[in-house]
Copies of this chain bind each other. A is one copy, B any other.
Amino acid sequence: MTSDTLVPTFAALGDATRWSILVALGERPASASALAERLPVSRQAIAKHLAVLLEVGLVEPVPVGREVRYRALGARLTQTADALAKVGAAWERRLATIKDIAEGL
């Protein structure tokens, strides 16, 4: 995963309402209308959030009759986590190197 995909994904995750939606979908797939009953926002607001979550691949639509349920894609989350961990590790490595140089090793 490059930063071009990483940053929008973080932006999608960095909203409390969107996180609530993801958590709800993580428990059980649901439609926008169903989510609107549980959460303190309108259905349209949720629809917008689902659109951005869909955009970054964190969620997947599952048509059931005339309604559209969404499921949270944990795999994508794990994937993102891996990328993050790699970056973090790289920073620590570089910092350790710099420290070594500074200490004249």
Number of interface residues of A (CB under 8 A): 40
5 CB < 8 A contacts A-B: A7-B19, A26-B87, A26-B94, A72-B95, A78-B92
Instruction: Collect the chain B residues with CB atoms within 8 Å of residue A80's CB.
Output: 84, 88
Interface SS of chain A: helix, strand, loop or mixed?
A: helix
- Kindly identify which residue among B7, B72, B87, B88 contacts A15, using a CB–CB cutoff of 8 Å: B7
Copies per complex of this chain: 2
A85 to B81, CA, bound (A): 6
- Kindly identify which residue among B8, B82, B85, B92 contacts A14, using a CB–CB cutoff of 8 Å: B8
- Kindly identify which residue among B10, B26, B27, B89 contacts A78, using a CB–CB cutoff of 8 Å: B89
Q: Which residues of A from 62 to 96 have beta carbons under 8 Å from B?
A: 71-78, 80-82, 84-85, 87-92, 94-95
